[in-house]
Structure 1
Amino acid sequence: MRRLGLTLVLCLLPVLGHAQNRAQTLADIRAELAALAAEFNALKSELISTGAISSGAAGGDALTRLDSIEAAMARLTARTEEVELRLNRVISDGTNRIGDLEYRLCEVTEGCNPANLGATSVLGGASGGAAAPVAQAPATAGSATAGSATAGAGGAELAVAEQQDFDRAKEVLGQGDFQGAAALFATYAQSYPGGPLIPEAHYLRGEALSQLGDTGNAARAYLDAFSAAPEGPFAPDALLKLGEGLGALGQIPEACVTLAEVGARFPGSMAATQSTVAMQGFGCR
């Protein structure tokens, strides 16, 4: 069941990565349908009041055609509401499953108290716009620098303080102060939620924690990086290292499922090749 749960989480994330935009689109559609219905009813009333329907000036059996159009609009409105409800259920279910995985990671992480875990951020929220597909991620923390320039230039414009805080954390990581870098990236993520550099900040925090041997918290950081942008530049390596971290923590079934997802989602990437090797090492079938 746990393997099935993790599989469902990984399958749902691409949908959740765009959930906010889709919810907004559905709201726009409903608003447009409501406006169209109002105009339609006004037109229908005008035709009835002027006698155009009964006189045939509107052409043929106009009332029957108007009734058919009205019924079609009602069906479309109902379908829109149905899609919106289903999307909300997917968001809720995916958020709960991610929260469950975070809890299990905390349980096997030394010094982590599950009681201190905050509420899981709703998937598809502030970070939903960061999931646009881009080039594959670099495999190392040093080469990951190139990704930040793309995110800053192609996404939302960064505030001066936001860019400075990120550069400072990356500089500390480059100096080998992994404890300091992990703390700075964590502070950055809390200070600028939903920013275009959040996936990279989580990923680099995971790199710093890995260097410290804090496998559990590193795995959680990689999970955060992947969840923030399931199709972004850091997604392949984040998913790979999440799988490797789960395996190192003894969560072999979950590790195998996660590593298999790397090849399925990012075929031909370096991360996919590395995941195959890791699966062999964990004895995955």
Structure 2
Amino acid sequence: MIRALVLSSLIAAAALPVAAQNAETLADLRAELMRLAQDLQSLRGELVAGGQSAMQAAGGTGALDRMNAMEAEIVRLTARTEELQNRVDRVVADGTNRIGDLEFRICELEDGCDVSNMPITGMLGGAAGGGGAAVAPAAPSVPEAPASNGGTPELAISEQADFDRAKAALDGGEYQAAADGFAAFANAYPGSPLTGNAHFLRGEAMAGLGDTSGAARAYLDAFSGAPDGPMAPAALFRLGAALGLLGQVQEACVTLGEVPRRFPNAPEAAEATSTMQTLGCQ
């Protein structure tokens, strides 16, 4: 059960972008296979209706054998796509359940968090260690906001200003104001290209306040919202480190182990490995 809790964030990283894309691709593939099967049946009907002359023109009785072989292969491929689709569906369902479990566990660690009022986790795609305490890592750099040109989404009129205001509060050590500002930003602009940064920086502000469980939730939001985004390595690393600080060592070890596996070239990969050694991860 405990291992399942931390695996939720990792399942989300894999399932969120991939499951939706694969579902569409597999659906398209099945449709193409059905069309191909229909064309093959139509061709066989024309060949049989054409009589001996048509059969000879197609290469003799071997033509029907080849058609039968192709039809059998189409049936095999169709079954395979259905199998893959079922597998994707299971990953999505399992990932959704696991990330819900982790959110519930973090809520239990937060003061004032009412588990009975937690929102239902949205469907993805529609994503043993020893003792010791984790060492709080240095804050990673945050990518600049995307420019409103070059095909990137343009920001709302007050969007950049609201983000900059919260960022200035964080830079000035006003952690509560920064946490409130980034939370308000994420609620006001859920589809913003800056929302992932806002979740991550809210985690930094919560960490500055000493609210490790709140920081863990914010890092989880940052990672699960964009598991392949520019902040994903840092968010996953900080989530693992926060779990270690909360005493959830086994979950922390599994989470931190995913950083070098998923992002081997990121600076956080080495930091995660070092933190795992501090935690005594096996």
- TM-score normalised to structure 1 length: 0.81
Once the two structures are overlaid, the 10-residue window that deviates more, 44-53 or 64-73, is: 44-53
Which residue, out of 255, 268, 274, partners 2:271?
Answer: 274
Work out the CA distance in 1 between the residues paired with 2:155 and 2:265. Answer: 36
Higher relative contact order (CA 8 A, sep 6+): 2
What's the CA shift for 1:188?
A: 3.5
What's the CA shift for 1:104?
A: 0.7
Which residue, out of 227, 230, 233, partners 2:227?
Answer: 230
With over 3 angstroms needed to count, the CA separation of the structure-2 counterparts of 1:180 and 1:34, relative to structure 1, is farther
With over 3 angstroms needed to count, the CA separation of the structure-2 counterparts of 1:113 and 1:4, relative to structure 1, is closer
Q: What is the letter of the counterpart of residue 243 of structure 1?
A: G
2:182 maps to which residue?
185
Aligned-residue CA RMSD (Å) = 2.9
Work out the CA distance in 2 between the residues paired with 1:167 and 1:156. Answer: 19
Q: What is the letter of the counterpart of residue 113 of structure 1?
A: D
Which residue, out of 202, 206, 226, partners 1:205?
Answer: 202
Q: What is the letter of the counterpart of residue 156 of structure 2?
A: V
2:120 maps to which residue?
119
What's the CA shift for 1:98?
A: 0.8
Work out the CA distance in 1 between the residues paired with 2:22 and 2:150. Answer: 20
1:262 and 2:263 aligned: no
Q: Which runs of 5+ in 1 are unaligned?
A: 129-138
Work out the CA distance in 2 between the residues paired with 1:195 and 1:87. Answer: 28
1:134 maps to which residue?
none
1:42 and 2:38 aligned: no
Q: Which runs of 5+ in 2 are unaligned?
A: 128-137
What's the CA shift for 1:92?
A: 0.6
User: In the alignment, is the contact (CA less than 8 A) between 1:219 and 1:241 conserved in 2?
Assistant: yes
Work out the CA distance in 1 between the residues paired with 2:57 and 2:197. Answer: 65
Once the two structures are overlaid, the 10-residue window that deviates more, 27-36 or 263-272, is: 263-272
Once the two structures are overlaid, the 10-residue window that deviates more, 109-118 or 223-232, is: 223-232
Once the two structures are overlaid, the 10-residue window that deviates more, 274-283 or 77-86, is: 274-283
2:59 maps to which residue?
59
Q: What is the letter of the counterpart of residue 154 of structure 2?
A: L
Q: What is the letter of the counterpart of residue 198 of structure 1?
A: T
1:92 maps to which residue?
93
Work out the CA distance in 1 between the residues paired with 2:207 and 2:151. Answer: 28
With over 3 angstroms needed to count, the CA separation of the structure-2 counterparts of 1:123 and 1:191, relative to structure 1, is farther
Q: What is the letter of the counterpart of residue 157 of structure 1?
A: P
Alignment of 1:136-175 (within 5 A): 140=139, 143-146=141-144, 148-149=145-146, 156-161=152-157, 162-163=159-160, 165-175=162-172
- TM-score normalised to structure 2 length: 0.82
Q: What is the letter of the counterpart of residue 160 of structure 1?
A: A
Aligned positions, number = 270
User: In the alignment, is the contact (CA less than 8 A) between 2:30 and 2:81 conserved in 1?
Assistant: yes
1:253 and 2:250 aligned: yes
What's the CA shift for 1:40?
A: 2.5
User: In the alignment, is the contact (CA less than 8 A) between 2:200 and 2:218 conserved in 1?
Assistant: yes
What's the CA shift for 1:269?
A: 3.6
Once the two structures are overlaid, the 10-residue window that deviates more, 161-170 or 93-102, is: 161-170
User: In the alignment, is the contact (CA less than 8 A) between 2:243 and 2:251 conserved in 1?
Assistant: yes
Q: What is the letter of the counterpart of residue 56 of structure 2?
A: G
**Rg larger for:** 2
Work out the CA distance in 2 between the residues paired with 1:4 and 1:149. Answer: 35
With over 3 angstroms needed to count, the CA separation of the structure-2 counterparts of 1:268 and 1:100, relative to structure 1, is same
1:10 maps to which residue?
10
Alignment of 1:105-116 (within 5 A): 105-116=106-117
User: In the alignment, is the contact (CA less than 8 A) between 1:219 and 1:242 conserved in 2?
Assistant: yes
User: In the alignment, is the contact (CA less than 8 A) between 1:156 and 1:195 conserved in 2?
Assistant: no
| 1:233 aligned counterpart, secondary structure | coil
Once the two structures are overlaid, the 10-residue window that deviates more, 37-46 or 23-32, is: 37-46
Once the two structures are overlaid, the 10-residue window that deviates more, 163-172 or 264-273, is: 163-172
Q: Deviations over 1:127-163 (max 9, x none)?
A: x8xxxxxxxxxx636x3143x338x778852343455
